[in-house]
Amino acid sequence: MTAAQPINAYISGTGFYVPPRIVTNDDLVNGYGIETTNEWIIQRTGIEARRYAERGVGSAELGARAAEDALADAGIAATDLDLIVFATLSPEYAFPGSGVLLQHRLGLNEGPNARHVPALDVRNQCSGFLYGLTTANAMVRSGAARHVLVVGAETHSAALDLTTRGRTVSSLFGDGAGAVVVSATTEDRGIRGCYLGADGSQAETLCQRVWDIRERPFIPLGEDGWGRVSPEHMYAHMDGRMVFKHAIAKMTGVLKQACDDLHVGLDDIDLFFFHQANLRINQYVAELLKLPADKVPHNIERYGNTTAATLPILLAEAVDDGRLRPGAKIALVAFGSGFTWGSAIIDW
C-alpha cells in the first residue's frame, strides 16, 4: 500500500460457536420448575430455545472457538493479528478482562513464534460488538493495525435466576460467541461508517449490580465475614417496557443517522442485521421503517439473546448459508444496557 492509496477496513473473516446443549422453553418449565409456558415466551420474545455452556466453560473459551473459525475464514494466523477486541458482559473475572484469556487460548504467548498481541476489553453489553467494530475500523483505517480480531462472547447461563422469580429475564438469554476479522484493503469496499450513542441517565433501567464499589466494603458482609449479595443485586434487573420503548426509538434513529450521513437509502440496503434481543422489538422497528421481512434475518428463536455475540453470530450464519455475499450492502444495528446503541453500514 502507498500513502496515496486510502485504506479501507473490511470484514475478511467470520466465525461463530454455540455450546451443544440446547435448552428449550419447555426445559425451563420441566427442568428448572419455572412457572411459564412455551407459548408465553414465544408470544412475547420469539424465543423457542437457547444454548447453555457446561460448568467450567467461560466466555473466553467460547470466544476462542469462534475466533479460530474467523481466522481460518480470513486466511490468516493468530500471529498476524495486531489487536484483539473482546466484547462481553459476562467475563470470567472482575479483573483481568477476558481479552487476555482469549489471547492466551489462541496460543499467542508460547513457542518460538510467540507474539504478545494486545487485547482490549469492551463492556458495552448488547452494543459491545458495534463498539468493538468501530474501534477496529478506526485502528485499521488509521494505519495503526492491519488485522483486528473482534469477538463478542457471553456465558449468561451462569448468572441467570433460573426460578420463577427471575423468569422475565432468564427466559431471554443464552450462551454463544461470534467473531470477525477486520482487515485493511485499498479496494473500494468495507465499513463505510459507524455511529454510536449512549444515555447514562437510564443506566439502572437494565443492569446487574452484583456489587457497588462506592460502598465499604463493596459487597456487604455478614456476621461471619462472608460476602452476601441479595437476589435483586445478584441477578439482572430490567424494566421491560422502558427498554422496549427506548430500543425502538434509538434503533430507528441511529439507523437513519447512518443512512443520512452516508447518503444511503433504506432501499439501497440488501440486509439489515438487528441485535437479537427480542424478536418483537425487531419486527416493530422493521414495520416502522417498512423493511421487507426477507431483508431482516433473525436467529433469536434458536439462540435467545447472546448480547455482544448476536450480531457476529448472525453475520457468520448469513455467510455460511449464502445469504450474505460479496458486493452486498448491509446495515448493523444494536441497542442495550447503558443505554448504549450503534449502527454501521458495510459494503461486504
Write out the catalytic residue numbers.
126, 275, 305
Residue position matching grid coordinates 456489587: 211
Distance of CA 265 to the CA centre of its chain: 26
144: helix, strand or coil: coil
Residue position matching grid coordinates 478506526: 138
Asked whether 110 and 319 are in contact (CB, 8 A), the reply is no
What is the C-alpha separation between 151 and 196, in angstroms, rounded?
18
What is the C-alpha separation between 221 and 23, in angstroms, rounded?
35
Whether the upstream peptide bond of residue 217 has omega within 30° of 0, thus cis, is yes
- Residue 124: DSSP 8-state: -
Residue position matching grid coordinates 469496499: 189
What is the C-alpha separation between 202 and 59, in angstroms, rounded?
26
C-alpha cell of 282? 425487531
Nearest to 59 by CA among 90, 84, 86: 90
156: helix, strand or coil: helix
Distance of CA 263 to the CA centre of its chain: 27
Asked whether 69 and 184 are in contact (CB, 8 A), the reply is no
Backbone angles phi, psi at 102, to 5 degrees: -65, -45
Four-CA torsion 168, 175, 270, 323, nearest 10 degrees: -130
